[in-house]
């Protein structure tokens, strides 16, 4: 099978490409405008990598779509700071530009695997009705749960709305044109190559793991937005990729016109608990003399992200569909997920420190 990966240079894309190459049964073509992460695997002669932008290189991308068997679209701005700083740019890439890929796949009659986000679920029904979601642990189910966004003034939701609208367009084309697609809603994947460390990249706002990892290595505060009271359920990237590959392979076409949550409900924790567990694991497994001992502090969402931000209070994935359709299970518990992700960044950091002193 010839697989075209769009946005292959990101965290999920590189790990997926690496797995496809290891399996050796798929011909993989990867495109992106970011090359830092994919450079780790681009030496593999089985990978064809092209520096292309879906918003500017439409003719070249269209030709690649026509030549593929399945298109995996990972192109996105997935950074909460951008949702607040550049909502129009976030909408343009996540909906307008991705819709062009949908049209290319429709025109060439190619199956599309579209990456969406668990953020399409928005806030929980409990929060919407003024209840405490800690007392109402209700999982999100792909084909049943209402999608509840915050008010328009909280333009952080423009990312989720753009992704949701793209899902609805795909569903409509599936009904009208028998268009074959699968939608993936990822729930908080972490693992090697996730984001970057702000102290090494000159600042910025990556995902929470990277902020906490940065604190453990460089001594910056472990900042808990609004006290870290909100919940997340973390999934190790290898487990997530295993599910993705099964969706690509699509046994007996079972994944056609389906939406899949990929997540690990057993790994749910508050952000505050996540910070404490990361610190505990680092101290037990990786800490060396002279390493910093960062403070854990609380900051407001507006202070951290800017005006117009609102957080998802709780995200529990129901993964019954992936389990029943694909016989998929996560293998890593929360501690294992954190440990293996942390090990990658610690090893990279130690190598850099050694090189500086050599």
Active site (catalytic) residues: 159
Q: Pairing between strand 2-6 and 268-270?
A: unpaired
Please answer whether residues 172 and 248 qualify as being in contact, where contact means their C-beta atoms are separated by less than 8 angstroms. no
Give the Å distances, CA to CA, from 267 to 138, 312, 356.
Answer: 15, 17, 37
**Which of 167, 191, 329, 343 shows the shortest CA–CA distance to 258?**
167
Angle at 283 between CA 279 and CA 289, to 5 degrees: 130
Please answer whether residues 100 and 54 qualify as being in contact, where contact means their C-beta atoms are separated by less than 8 angstroms. yes
SS3 73: strand
Gap between the Cα atoms of 356 and 358, Å rounded = 6
Q: Provide CB contacts within 8 A for 130, sequence distance 6+.
A: none
Q: Alpha helix locations (H) across 178-251?
A: 198-201, 208-218, 237-249
Gap between the Cα atoms of 185 and 187, Å rounded = 7
Number of other residues whose CB lies within 10 A of the CB of residue 314 = 25
For the purposes of burial, counting CB atoms within 10 Å of the CB of 185, is it exposed (0-12), middle (13-18) or buried (19 or more)? buried
SS3 78: coil
**What is the DSSP-derived secondary structure letter of residue 294?**
P
Give the Å distances, CA to CA, from 177 to 101, 116, 119, 180, 258.
Answer: 16, 21, 27, 9, 15
């Amino acid at each position: 099978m010839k697989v075209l990966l769009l946005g292959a240079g990101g965290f999920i894309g590189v790990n997926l490409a690496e797995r496809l190459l290891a399996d050796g049964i798929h011909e993989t073509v990867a495109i992106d405008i970011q090359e830092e992460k994919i450079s780790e695997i681009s030496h593999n002669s089985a990978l064809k990598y092209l520096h292309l932008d879906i918003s500017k290189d439409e003719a070249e991308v269209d030709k690649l779509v026509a030549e593929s068997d399945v298109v995996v679209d990972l192109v996105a701005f997935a950074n909460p700071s951008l949702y607040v700083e550049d909502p129009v740019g976030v909408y343009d890439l996540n909906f307008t530009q991705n819709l062009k890929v949908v049209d290319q796949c429709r025109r060439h009659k190619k199956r599309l695997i579209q990456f969406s986000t668990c953020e399409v679920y928005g806030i929980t029904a409990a929060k919407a009705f003024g209840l405490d979601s800690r007392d109402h642990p209700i999982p999100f189910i792909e084909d049943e749960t209402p999608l509840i966004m915050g008010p328009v003034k909280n333009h952080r939701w423009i990312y989720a709305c753009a992704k949701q609208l793209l899902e609805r367009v795909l569903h409509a084309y599936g009904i009208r044109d028998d268009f074959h697609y699968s939608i993936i809603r990822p729930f908080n994947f972490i693992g090697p190559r996730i984001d970057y460390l702000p102290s090494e990249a000159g600042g910025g706002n990556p995902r929470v793991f990277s902020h906490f990892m940065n604190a453990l290595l460089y001594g910056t505060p472990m900042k808990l937005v609004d006290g870290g009271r909100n919940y997340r359920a973390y999934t190790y990237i290898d487990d997530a990729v295993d599910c993705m590959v099964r969706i690509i392979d699509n046994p007996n076409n079972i994944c056609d016109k389906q939406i899949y949550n990929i997540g690990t409900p057993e790994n749910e924790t508050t952000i505050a608990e996540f910070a404490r567990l990361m610190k505990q694991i680092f101290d037990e497994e990786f800490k060396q003399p002279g390493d910093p001992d960062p403070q854990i502090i609380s900051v407001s969402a507006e202070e951290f992200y800017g005006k117009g931000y609102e957080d998802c209070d709780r995200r529990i994935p129901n993964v019954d569909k992936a389990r029943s359709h694909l016989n998929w299970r996560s293998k890593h518990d929360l501690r294992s997920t954190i440990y293996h992700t942390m090990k990658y960044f610690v090893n990279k950091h130690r190598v850099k420190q050694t090189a500086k002193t050599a």
